[in-house]
């Protein structure tokens, strides 16, 4: 039960960290609970489907189906996060101003939320499909119902608890910086996912590695440690990155930062205006 719980915990933790950032980034938005909930639901369903067809996916495209599938959904998540972060750069200040003045939810329209629904669904699907395959194996090798159910319960409760810790920690950020902080977190999250996608494409021999191990900081923080794994999920930390991963990471981070700079202006001018009004 403990072994099962530990594996489930590790996978749930990765998804929970991403969901926590998304929840923080959509703070004060009407109906976000419904959207995030739907994302989790869709992710769980997707995980079961992906696990059921794992052999088909693995055998597809001369054996590199699994890598191409992973890389594609990771890059889809990157695009969604990028779009949301850029959207927030122009609307975030309005949002926090509104929340400070009225202290309640804001209607933003469904587009930014549907982008994040996809991100949540992808995070849950990726980690969930591993859990489903693992549990299927456990059940097939004769593990009891109690051991499996207990392991799931332990892992899910533990993983979700850490997710909540992160979420409430983030809520402690002062309102004036809140959405710029969550936006930067989203940027790093997207860059990390892009680097993971590059990793899969290297593993499949679709892209050159450009140096297998450009540096090695595993003595400082190993990929195997819980902290290493957490940083891997949150900011794309990798103790031994390949050159191509660094390229993907940097290009994604720079592209989103540029997008936020370029399209982040309307909100600033809006705030200038409201400041001017306040002075007048």
Instruction: Kindly state whether residue 199 participates in binding another protein, applying the rule CB under 8 A.
Output: yes
How far is it, in rounded angstroms, from Cα 40 to Cα 179? Answer: 23
**Phi, psi dihedral angles at 106 (to 5 degrees):** -115, 140
Kindly indicate which of the ranges 30-38, 64-72, 176-184, 267-275 contains the residues binding another protein, using the contact rule CB under 8 A. Answer: 64-72
**The binder of another protein chosen from 240, 243, 271, 274 (CB under 8 A):** 240
**The binder of another protein chosen from 38, 203, 217, 274 (CB under 8 A):** 203
**The binder of another protein chosen from 31, 33, 63, 144 (CB under 8 A):** 63
At its nearest, how many Å lie between another protein and the CB of residue 1?
Answer: 14
Instruction: Kindly state whether residue 72 participates in binding another protein, applying the rule CB under 8 A.
Output: no
**The binder of another protein chosen from 34, 37, 49, 59 (CB under 8 A):** 59
**The binder of another protein chosen from 64, 235, 246, 247 (CB under 8 A):** 64
With a CB cutoff of 8 Å and minimum separation 6, the contacts of 61 are 68
**The binder of another protein chosen from 95, 242, 260, 267 (CB under 8 A):** 242
Instruction: Kindly state whether residue 133 participates in binding another protein, applying the rule CB under 8 A.
Output: yes
At its nearest, how many Å lie between another protein and the CB of residue 4?
Answer: 10
At its nearest, how many Å lie between another protein and the CB of residue 130?
Answer: 7
Instruction: Kindly state whether residue 268 participates in binding another protein, applying the rule CB under 8 A.
Output: no
Q: Which residues bind another protein (CB under 8 A)?
A: 3, 7, 54-55, 58-59, 63-64, 66-67, 130, 133-134, 136-137, 140-141, 199, 202-205, 212-213, 218, 222-224, 238-242
């Amino acid at each position: 039960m403990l072994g099962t719980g530990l594996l489930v915990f590790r996978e749930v933790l990765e998804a929970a960290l991403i969901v926590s950032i998304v929840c923080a980034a959509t703070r004060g938005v009407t109906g976000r609970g419904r959207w995030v909930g739907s994302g989790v639901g869709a992710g769980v369903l997707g995980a079961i489907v992906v696990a059921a067809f794992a052999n088909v996916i693995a055998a597809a495209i001369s054996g590199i189906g699994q890598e191409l599938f992973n890389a594609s959904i990771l890059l889809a998540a990157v695009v969604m996060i990028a779009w949301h972060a850029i959207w927030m750069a122009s609307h975030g200040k309005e949002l926090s101003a509104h929340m400070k003045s009225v202290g309640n939810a804001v209607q933003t329209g469904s587009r930014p939320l549907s982008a994040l629904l996809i991100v949540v669904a992808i995070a849950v699907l990726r980690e969930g499909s591993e859990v489903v395959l693992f549990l299927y194996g456990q059940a097939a090798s004769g593990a009891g119902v109690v051991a499996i159910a207990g392991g799931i319960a332990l892992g899910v409760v533990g993983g979700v608890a850490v997710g909540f810790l992160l979420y409430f920690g983030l809520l402690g950020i002062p309102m004036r910086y809140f959405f710029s902080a969550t936006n930067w977190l989203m940027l790093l999250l997207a860059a990390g996912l892009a680097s993971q996608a590059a990793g899969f494409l290297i593993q499949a021999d679709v892209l050159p590695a450009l140096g297998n191990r450009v540096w090695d900081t595993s003595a400082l923080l190993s990929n195997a440690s819980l902290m290493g794994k957490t940083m891997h999920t949150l900011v794309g930390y990798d103790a031994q990155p390949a050159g191509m991963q660094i390229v993907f990471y940097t290009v994604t981070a720079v592209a989103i930062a540029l997008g936020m700079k370029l399209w982040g202006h309307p909100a600033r001018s809006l705030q200038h205006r409201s400041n001017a009004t306040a002075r007048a």
